[in-house]
Structure 1
Amino acid sequence: QNSSFAFPLSAKLKSFVVSFSERRIASCRFIDWVLMDRVLGGKYKIGKRIGSGSFGAHVETSEIVAIKMENRKTNQPQLLYESKLYNILQGGSGIPRMKWCGTDGDNNVLVIELLGPSLEDLFFFCGKKFSLKTVLMLADQMLTRIEYLHSKGFLHRDIKPDNFLMGLGKKANQVYMIDFGLAKAYRDPITNKHIPYRC
């Protein structure tokens, strides 16, 4: 359930993951002049936006991270709940390391390690076609991540290629599962009994 198995990428995919990662990290080098006056939790400076989140950097170590933010007054806040899930899942293979979570002004904030391209990015790079070997290798890791989540008593409820990312650097061949905002407990942590579904 917590396998550290990582498949060897083909030369083409490896090249894409590495170049994607290098471009992403290189783009972060310019965050010094973008929104860098704002510091979250006394630790992280906000950088350029990425998808629904942002890049950031630790004020002391300059480690580049991914930052998700949401307005605390939103109708259905998810980040603080998602941070609790990350806490429960920490240590699992293919689960991003959570760096910090908390509130900043009117926002809830979640900081996790920076990751590489999503499986959707890889799929489009490969002309919307993976080899059978790649499909099997990816599926093995994805199923292992889902199995680990289930072993902790939760369902993801938003499984899609965008929510599986490749790692960076030495972990470029490892698949990570992200975005647990819609996850839901399906087993009682005390009795281990199945929780009835409610609409």
Structure 2
Amino acid sequence: MTIWPNAMIALKRLRYMTHEPLYPLLRHEACALVLLQGHPSIPTAYAYGASQHYEYLALQLLGETLHSHFVMSSNRLAMRNLAAIAYQMLDVLEHVHSRGIVHCDLSLKNIMFDFPGPSQRIYLIDFGLCLSYLDKSTGRHRPDEKMPRVRGTYLYASLNNHLHHTPSRRDDLEALAYVLIRLLRGGLPWQGVRTSAELYEKKRSWSGAGLCAGWPAVFGEFLDYCRTLDYDETPDYQRWKRSFASATRDFTGWFDMWDKTNCVGSVRDDTAPICLPTAESLAESVPWRSVMSRFDSYEPLTEFEAVYTLSAEDMLAPSEQEVISTGLYSLSRVPLSDRPYLTADCSPERLVGPN
């Protein structure tokens, strides 16, 4: 693409099928990024396109995720930097929520540094599961209805998400609280739990105060606050930004990769005060709808791959493709790959028109 001759971009690719009625995840994410532009922690999207096999999204190249930098490596995290992460994520979530959207999948893997390495600014990524918490016809808050599945990453899912309540702003904040507490403690007590029911029971047995014993109280207080929010209640973002800013000396709001003072990441007190909310029956999650390729036709990838689809209720606009067409460029050709990913008997990839 010659539109950005000197720009380094990232290219996301997801499996796609033109012969099935789909609500594809990457088109959904592209629509969200168009609607959310205007905040420095939202990555810039450039172009979208689809072939008969894949959909593509060209967007701003970013660096490491918090998961790869702090969990998969031995990099240490200063308390001042953890407070900066909390501050910046609260700020970008306030922006996302102000546009009527909830992210639905806050996790360490969906928060990234700028490229090429840890920098002052961090980004919220991966809006493939996001949805509108406002009714598109009335502009009012959607009613709280039972959902067929947990939406997002189980490790960080809110208690109400486990109970299949419709995601709202409170759930994004509770998931953020778990992300922060994992960085603070170096882990969460329910890591390694195998079933959703066991994970939910263990998660709800811990209060914020119990999880964060021995650390600044603001982290546990934030989790306990999130759990008290009503379904349609507007969170007090400014209060918690001030609280995290006050949790450490010389707070700037920026991530400083050279700061290794007062590092976090270890459990100081593992006593678990019981904090049981009102119990509800925990239904099994229904898997996401997927379309599988058939072996009696060609197989685009060398490995067997499913195509996942959202539902009509998840759409952010009556026509997400129209939003994309007005906000992004269209790919002019199928992107090239460093490695072959089509089988020899697969028909050549070609761009298809919007649907």
Regarding TM over 0.5, the answer is yes
String of CA shifts for 1:54-104, please: whole Å, max 9, x gaps.
Answer: xxxx58715221111112228762001111001101122211110101113
Q: 1:156 aligns with which of 100, 103, 107?
A: 103
Output the CA distance in 2 between the equivalents of 1:83 and 1:89: 10
Q: Specify the alignment match of 2:289 in structure 1.
A: none
1:185 aligns with 2:132: yes
Give the match's secondary structure for 2:47: strand
In the other structure, the counterpart of 2:10 is 66
SS at match of 2:83: helix
Distance 1:98 1:59, change over 3 A: closer
Partners of 1:129 and 1:83 in 2: CA distance: 34
Runs of 4+ aligned structure 1 residues displaced above 6 Å come to: none
Alignment partner, residue 308 of structure 2: none
Q: Which runs of 5+ in 2 are unaligned?
A: 148-355
Aligned match for 2:34, one of 87, 101, 105: 87
Contact 2:102 2:132 in 1 (8 A): yes
2:97 pairs with 1:147: no
Mean CA deviation greater in 90-99 or 163-172: 163-172
Of residues 87, 98, 120 in structure 1, which corresponds to 2:67? 120
Change in CA separation of 1:60 and 1:122 when aligned onto 2, cut-off 3 Å = closer
Report whether the alignment pairs 1:168 with 2:115: yes
Residue 182 of structure 1: SS of its match in structure 2?
Answer: coil
Mapped contact 1:96–1:177 kept (Cα < 8 A)? yes
Q: Give the structure with higher Rg (CA).
A: 2
> C-alpha separation between the residues in 1 aligned to 2:95 and 2:4?
34
Match of 1:15 in 2: none
* Structure 1 or 2: more strand by fraction: 1
Aligned residues: 143
Q: Matched residues in 2 for 1:125 and 1:70: separation?
A: 25
RMSD: 2.6
Is the contact made by 2:62 and 2:116 (CA closer than 8 Å) also made in structure 1?
no
CA distance in 2 between counterparts of 1:112 and 1:133 reads 30
**Alpha-carbon distance in structure 2 between the residues aligned to 1:69 and 1:177:** 19
* Residue identity matched to 2:115: L
> In the TM superposition, what is the alpha-carbon distance from 1:127 to its structure 2 partner?
3.2
TM-score by length of structure 2 reads: 0.37
The aligned amino acid for 1:70 is L
| Native 8 Å contact 2:64 2:118 kept in 1 | no
The gaps in structure 1 that reach 5 residues or longer are: 1-42, 44-57
**Whole-angstrom distance in 1 between the partners of 2:138 and 2:76:** 44
In 1: Cα distance, 2:35 partner to 2:46 partner: 14
Residue identity opposite 1:167 in structure 2: D
Give the aligned partner of residue 50 of structure 2: 103
